[in-house]
Amino acid sequence: MAQKIRALYIGPKGGDTFDPTQIEQQSRAIKAAGGDVIAFKGSSTGELIEALKDVDVAMSQGHRVDPAVFEHMGNNGRCKGMVSFGHGFDGIDTDVAARNGVVLANTASFGTDEVSNQAMMHLLVCARKFVIQDKMVRQGVWKRTTLAPMGHLSGQTLGIIGLGDIGRAVARKAQAFRLNVIGFDPYIASWDFKEYGVEQVTTVEEMCRRSDYITLHVYLNPETRNMFSKKHFDLMKPTAYLINCSRGGVVDEKALIEALQKKKIAGAGLDVFEQEPTPGDNPLLKMENVSVTNHYASYSEVAWERAQTQMGEEAVRIAMGHWPMSLINPEVKHHAAPRKAAKTWEVMKVDMGLK
């Protein structure tokens, strides 16, 4: 590449997770490739559009991007793509980006172990009725009258919706507990289900009827929003639990609350909510058969450092004319100029003459 790589780092608006002044990890790969990272200092869409004119690629750390920005990128400007932090990309209009030839990537796989561990944690907490037992012991109540019915796990059935990296990791861990694992994912081939040791089911409804636990591992998009609704809760066993460590909007929260209040299901384990932070008067927070965490399933220091460095690696791929490893808008291939195949960072370093 003739000119020096320039990348724009777009920090988050507010929040307590990131320090936008500390971007060494995000910049590591770009600087190794001899490039520069410029931190975006503005606050408006117009300022962002202007800043993108002088860079090859952007990295977005949880910033919700106005779709109008993409009209000045890709086929219409120097900046050819954007890498977003994390797994989810519901804050990005992937269709508008694709039509304008803007290559989008995320840092999927960085927290596979963490999210799958969180899902299993919620499953175990629900199965062992930990919430109510923990509460009683802390209150000085020592009794076992609230134990039954309690899951045995071995021989019970776990249904997984979404067999991506995280869903497959959950399957492996669930099998160690001798759970029977069934899965629904219309985008995974039947031979892959066999390889993962997961029985394929063809409808969510069948999964609801058969499962003792259901865990969700899908992106939030128009197809999956409220994909789990009242009709699904009506089909579940009264002894079954729902686990959600994906996105709150995947579940119709009003229907979930009703199902729990009417004892259509036994309980739920939630890391995510429709509105975040969820209001303090949310009925789910008052229920002793619901375990809750505050959307931190993907976090560990190791995982988040990997995600930060992965942002930079994907940025280098895009800037140097490669496809990213984790392309989130494959439709862009119909609109953008041809690119070289994605390569691992280790191979990219060799190609660039780096140690």
Same domain, 189 and 225: yes
On whether residue 1 sits in a domain, the answer given is no
DSSP string, 31-58: HHTT-EEEE----SHHHHHHHHTT-SEE
Read off the pLDDT of each residue in 48-55 and give the average, rounded to a whole number.
Answer: 97
Average of pLDDT values for 43-54?
Answer: 95
Q: Count up the domains in the chain and report the number.
A: 2
Query: Are 209 and 225 within one domain?
Result: yes
Closest by CA position to 306, among listed 326, 327, 329, 276: 326
The answer to whether residue 168 is catalytic is: no
pLDDT tens digits for range 160-204: 999 999 999 999 999 999 999 999 999 999 999 999 999 999 999
Find the catalytic residue in 99, 210, 217, 247: 247
User: Do 307 and 256 fall into the same domain?
Assistant: no
What pTM was estimated for this model as a whole?
0.91
141 and 278 part of one domain: yes
Q: Is the pLDDT of residue 4 over 70?
A: yes
- Whether 339 is catalytic: no
Range of the domain at 241: 112-292
Our answer to whether residue 331 is catalytic in this structure is: no
Which residue of the set 24, 50, 195, 276 is catalytic? 276
Chain-centre distance for alpha carbon 143 = 39
Q: Which of 292, 315, 332 is the last residue of a domain?
A: 292
| pLDDT for 27 beyond 90 | yes
Residues 6+ apart with CB under 8 A from 194: none
Question: How do residues 112-167 score in pLDDT, each as one tens digit?
Answer: 999 999 999 999 999 999 999 999 999 999 999 999 989 899 999 999 999 999 99
- Which is catalytic among the residues 225, 295, 306, 335? 295
| Joined tokens for residue 4 | 């020096």
From 292, 312, 327, the end of a domain falls on 292
